[in-house]
Structure 1
Amino acid sequence: MGSEPNPVPWPARLRKAEPGQRDAIVAQAPTGWREPLRALLEGPEPEEALTRAAGLPEPIQATPWPVRLSRLLHEGSYPARLLALYPEALAGLHPEAPPADPLAALRQAVGEASLDDALGRVRSTEYLRLAAREVEGAPLEETGGALSDLVAACLQVLLEQLQLAEQVVVFGMGKLGGHELNFLSDIDLVFVHDDAIGEGDVERRRELVDLHQRLRTLVRHLEGQGKWRPLFRVDLRLRPFGSRGPLSTSVTATEAYYERHGRAWERQVWLRGRPLAGRLDLGALLLRRLTPFVYRRSVGPEIFGEIADMMRRARREATRVGGDDGDVDIKLDTGGIREVEFTVQALQLLHGGRNPGVRDTGTLPALDRLLAAGLVSDREHHQLGVAYRWMRHVEHRVQLAEGQQTHRIPGEAAARARLARRLRVGGSAASLTSTMQRHRQQVRAIAKTIGGDEELGDPRAHDLAVALDDGAPRDDRCAALQRLGVHDPAETEARLEHLRTRPDGAFASTGTSRHGAENLLRACLDSADPDAAIARLVELAATRPAHYGIWRAFAEPSPVGRDLLRLTGELLGASEPLGRGLIGFPPGRPAGPGRSGSRPDFLLGLLERASEAELPGPRTLAADLRRQLVDPRGLDATLLHFKHEQLVRAGLFDLGRRPDPLVVGRAISDVADLVLRVILRDLAAEAGVGSRFDLAVLALGKHGMQAMDYGSDLDLMFVFEPLEASPEAQTAAARLAQRLMTRLESRALGQRLYEVDMRLRPSGRQGLLVTSLTGFRRYHARRIAVWERLALLRTRAIAEVRVGEPGLVPPSFDDLDDAEPDPPGAMVAAAVPGSLCEAIEDTVSETLGWRPGPEPPPSADEMRQQTRRLKQRIEAELARENRAQGRFNAKTGEGGCLELELLVAALQLVHGPEHPAARARGIVDAVEGLGEAGVLPRDEVAALCADYRFLRLLLNRLRMSPGGRGEDPDRFSENSPRLVTLARRMGFPSRADLMRRFSDARSRVRSAFDHHLPG
């Protein structure tokens, strides 16, 4: 009896079935097959994917494969061809596959197979894995970097196998040197050997001949042999003397060539030269010697001609403009990949000699460095970076389709629609064309500003003129705004139309005022959020007609003025408190009682003071408020204007001088103290004669330790003490506290002064709004929770008033600076802390164990464990981090600012009773005090203080750089363009540098937390 024939493999069975029967076949399939089969049906090209699946080698079809393979089969024939060439490459797609290490894999494979087979097998496995990562949406930096690392590993193994590793260094040029290779790039290589080879007698010259022969063998292996060909396409034409020159030159000969014969385009080539394999020390030596050739320290007029020639050469390589309706070469046509690369390289050549910070071989890292150096705007950086990443992903997908070295996007609608589906760009030819057109136009516009061609003009000036032209069609105005970087051009066009139609407005004027308005509009377009910045610019311009001095100040700015123009645009596009503060209130209000004249434009005054050496202290703030003109709408309107003015003052100082973030936090907290005191005094005067009591206001949290940022709320606690036996005192004190909160939080003026948080009061949300001193003492005489002790550490008495006595009058501002600050740093104003605040602070000290009290504090172990549990709960419920996806929370996440604050607070609770130096309210002072007490070693003190300052600065900058609406401002994504703005505002060359610093800080903070508060 014959054996039963082999059953038809499930992929083939699915392909042969009618479309209406396929779901049933998937349901009948074994469990392991269902998900891969479903993925074949649900991708962008199901029929093609099924055909490719059915054509895979039989061993692959015999058992269920990873879902990643099914998704890859929708991309084109190349992944299937890789598997047909080497079926074992499928192992790299399994979820349990070990992390890729091509160098280790190659060294192992060389011991198991021939050299060519080893290279082919590892290359096929890694290409298949990276193709899957590309389809899964991996960032360009990952795929381009891994492809570059694969080539470097192949070169290293070939050098080792041919006994060249100690004689030669191999430089990668172009995309390989930039660590951004694509799947089917040419491999641009330059070989350089040690000076000792070939110098001297005949034997040494023979050694050089032998070296060249072995290098030719290396190239043959790298290009592939037999079934593996082509492995890589090797291009050696970038070496000295090009294709006519020797295959390898010595270090000294290479240096001499560029000194004598080096041309401008070769300087550009070596911008991306990177030693990959072999004698890396020789590579570093040569790069140092070539630095004066590549990066000229003195920039003469000739360099502008060289850059213009370079940009013209890039345009000549674009054989035509490449209309978006026909075939488009995404690399070479205008506005394509090459134009982004040449634009970045032109700026590096121009500025790299005097500014080493802009030097980098990679296009995207170099673009980040140019932003950090202020050589490209936020808008230019964002548009070039987004366009480059998108076009490189398109290039990858076009190449993966058929395994061809092509950069062409087909013009035929059906083919373009298939590509759109694979890229998930709307699924139609029109959507792909629209996206491509937008990116190419933006790149082209920016590149034109670099090239220096007379015929190119200034595209931004042209687009700006169109956007402000009443006679231009509305669609043209919207298109111009989109090219200028606006995300919602229709909304912004409507706002600008409102400005254009105001007969007295700066945008409707001619001459200096209009020029100044357009300068500020450009600064807004270059901000992190151009839509928000322009919306606020509209509000700003609506209250300042063309004759106001602010427009003249922006028309012809000095170098200092240009910085202020940039800062103004950044602040208008920054967070709501800063942007709103910059708008201010309408200038020219009537003077207050007893004063004559009208108020000058406060914005102009702010800009004039932006270069001040330090932020105002408490006495200066009180004096500034004393000089503030009274708003006819009332005291709260005056205070709101004052608060905004001081926030903008701090923001200008912060961005312009990058001070210690603790200084900025103290200044913002001092403003809050003063505003609260003035309102409290006004309310006490309004209360009139009645129940007599003292009311104290305590600040906790960030406010308590004078560490507020631009969006901080006020953590408050109220304590009162009746001056006579009266059942009405509690009610009257609660009413006064409620009225204070209402005035702080009221939106009657369009926005509130501050948001108030009362959750840290005794008993939290369930507790009384106002606690008597007796009740406060009784509550804290018992054994309170550790979280409440942690909160008490940051308690600071900020205000106190006496209510119910005759003779109290509202604040006139004339006596705000009568009191002397005591202790140093206390606010100088009416309603300063008095005897009730002293009694409260005594109770706090007893509770914390600073002085003898009725109840001993919990044990050290309990405080450590409770603090640890609190942090774990906060991290689980609030941080919402996903480290695998690069999403972090700088405040509540692992190793974040709050973790460091809780660590310090726990150590203060444990050691503060014995060591007065450890009782400081501020974190840095407390860490230093713990160091003095011997609790923390000196090196850890320095590291934690530096990390805290960094994390506080990061939180400040996060509040300046708006994320999405409704998002936690302390959260950010590692790959977000927002992080580029953050890096620049924090003084880091690139997003990667900022993330490295963040990672280092988080790691140290978490290690310290685990060490001092063990679980």
Structure 2
Amino acid sequence: MAARAAAKRVGTNWLLQPAAKLVPLDPSRARRELSEIASVAQEEEFARLAKFLAGTGAVQDFLSAVFDLSPFLRDAARRRPGILDKLFDETVEARLASIGAAIDKAARTEAVTESGLMMELRQWKAEAHVLIALADLAGEAETAVTVRRLSDLADACTRAAVDFLLRDAHEQGKLKLPHPEHPSRQSGWILLGMGKLGAHELNFSSDIDLVVFFDPEAPAVTDPLDATELFSRLTRRLVRILQDRTEHGYVFRTDLRLRPDPGSTPLAIPVDAALRYYEARGQNWERAAMIKARPVAGDIAAGDAFLRELQPYVWRKYMDYAAIADVHSIKRQIHAHKGHGEIAVKGHNVKLGRGGIREIEFFAQTQQLIAGGRFPDLRGRETVPMLGQLAARGWITADARDTLARQYWFLRRVEHAIQMVADEQTHTLPEDDEGLERIARMLGFADAAGFSEAFRAALHQVERHYAALFETAPELSAGVGNLVFTGDVDDPDTLQTLSGLGFQRPSDICRVIRGWHFGRYRVTQSAEARERLTELAPALLKAFGQTRRADEAVIRFDEFLAGLPAGIQLFSLLQSNPALLKLMATIMGAAPRLAAIITRRPHVFDGLLDPALLTELPDRAYLSARLAAFIEGDRAYEDVLDRLRIFASEQKFLIGVRLLAGSIDPARAGRAFSDLADLTIDAALQAVIAEFALRHGRIAGGTVALLGMGKLGSRELTAGSDVDLILLYDHDADAEESDGDKPLAPSHYYSRMTQRLISAVSAPTAEGVLYELDLRLRPSGNKGPVATHVDAFKKYQRQDAWTWEHMALARARAIGGDQALCTEVETEVTAVLALPRDAAKVMAEAFEMRAMIEKEKPPRDLWDIKLVSGGLIDLEFIAQVAVIAGQVEAGRRATGTAEILSRLAPDFAETQVRRELCDAYVLYLALTQMIRLCLTGAFERDDVPPGLSDLLLAVTDLPDFGVLEAHLKETSQKVRKDFDLLLRAKRA
């Protein structure tokens, strides 16, 4: 151990061992250059370095190649051979840490002057630069490590200069620092690193982009009125310290042009003014820039607070497709100004050219802008990790992630090699053969030909993914024909085009669209919105024409536009997504219920942009996680109820869209609608319990359980279903009243609480109604109290309940409230259903009930699927009778009609009958789910929207509407026959 320590002190081994083999352009010249550096080392008394460089081996071969390929590194080593000598004693990593510590210390040294600090920073930066380059070329550091090291170096230098300037201002009385030993803390001076600095992705010869703000109310500021001038002056000095060239070089070129309106604003801007600017006038390119913003120096806490304030501007709550057009236009401008032609190698701009670094960055950033508002894990600054997150979320493919990440680091290596030649801020490959050969060899290629092949392949791969994202747009007007909506008179050719597209009243449609162009709605008042809508109109009209009820679709879309506060987002979104445009047309043409939802709440459309929408199943865990995220935090009671309404409305819409798109079947949709009701009603109950307790306190031992009945209990809800509930409660036997300011007796307490729950769920607010509640299935119906003690419920069910009530109980399921009480109630329901009964009597009563319903509520027609003879009620009665008559095969208790029918006891229903009943239920469920999803009123046989008839055929897999109707009629006749067989014949 002692011997090793001594060897380390002596430092006979150079600690940077190259993993890469580099080949010089001219081997003999390379060896001469290494000998010259060895001679300089000898003269400056670095004997061990001189001896080492004069020797032979892999390290010496590596260094000779480096110094031949990079004049910058050769000259730096010649000027300061001590940089190389240090690597006998410390690894690159350790030495860089030492340099970072020295930079921090330099700013805290009492005697340091501005010129002294400038000299020290330049010397430390020069040494670090050489070490980072050597480690990169040697393969000791991957490119991801190199860019982090360069960024950390820039951070340290900027921090040191800022701390020096703050302390200087403090000593002059211009500021009063609360923590002079830590000058930046609570100073109010905010320096955000932007671009590659902000993302920890700095390149070798990069400028650093800074945006400077200040808080005039910070503790350090003595005169808020003078603060703009003071901090602007400090910023000017900061730029001079970092950027001015002296005999020692420069630290970092510094660019302040990313600040708000740089042509007319000071170098340092008050935070309130900055926030007002971004909220009122900020451009999409500035939002994209802010993705990478990071506090790098000054008051870090204030910088973090500023970025938190800015989050709603950068990360829009709703998915942002309007930004794509802006960002893409920036890309086109770059191409126009920088020369964007065919992919080449010589003279190609690695950063801005086609297939270059900027395309990968834009690829990631635009997807982040679109989705980052809803998914915080997509808000990261670094390009490659964000590609990974985008792929994990399904926004990009795994192939795109892997290809772009691989080529990003390859192109960054190319960029570094270009800059390491002469430490110039350039991104362009050399035009000459020797220059290109130099770059190829720095990157470890055998020759320029091998490099050119790899480089061209990389650019093509990047271009392919970038083009798929940005450079393919729907052909909005292809094949549509003449469409002119200017002036007050209908254009004859336009009327003809509209008629050809399927519009029955083309003149009315012209009038509607002219209204859009005249800016009569808020959504079309801006010129940009009208331009986007004009571009979209041909594709919009073509899509609506294909719904076969085109006029109604446009009228509904017009109602939708009338209620929108702004339209650029929507128009850009539809323009970018032909499939979404088609879905919008289907909804407007065939699904008035869904159309009404997006008319009231247009932002539910955002959910359609989630790539995982049609692959993620809306099961209970999925909905529960999203609901928890949506209502998390300390919220007011009314806010919770509003957010529950918003959430339920959006999720009903998205479940419905999945059903429309065929990604879930009708049974899955029923379970999803039911799970959504369970979760939101239970959340409403918890909010009611907490709110009610604020005034009335709590009952000792008090618990509540919600029993879902009807279609909620059987998990067969549709988009338009009401909800049947029974509220049960329990409490300590000796509890006399609640313990709040306004105490109530238990029965009164729970009745009042139930009324509050009814109001919380069913009362209309600005956000609509959560669900219409029906509590008539409780013991004693409308005559009894709205809340029932669990013991009273048990007694009633065992002693007083009618057969129809036990039939209803067959679908009962605990859906929320106290878990222990829910379990108790479920156990009791199971026990009641298992009580011995006279099966013949049950069947007779059920048969008579069905006859009475048929007499009092006759079906409108064949399409009244619930009430028609042989319809849904017949199937539900069969299932419920089988449950309470003990005619279901053993197994876990089922509440769903489909499962009960599939498990009818063989001696009750033969295999063929079971199959017929199950097939009938599948058909009825499919039709009911789709009809209730699309329509708010009754299904009118003679006025079926063509789009809806198409959807009904798709969900039943039948060829035309006549066949469907015949199949429905035949099915209902079979069910009625089976109903009679099972309930009338068997009771005898």
Interval containing the TM-score (normalised by the shorter chain): 0.3 to 0.5
Q: Based on CA coordinates, which of the two structures has the bigger radius of gyration?
A: 2
TM-score, with normalisation over the residues of structure 2?
A: 0.45
TM-score, with normalisation over the residues of structure 1?
A: 0.44
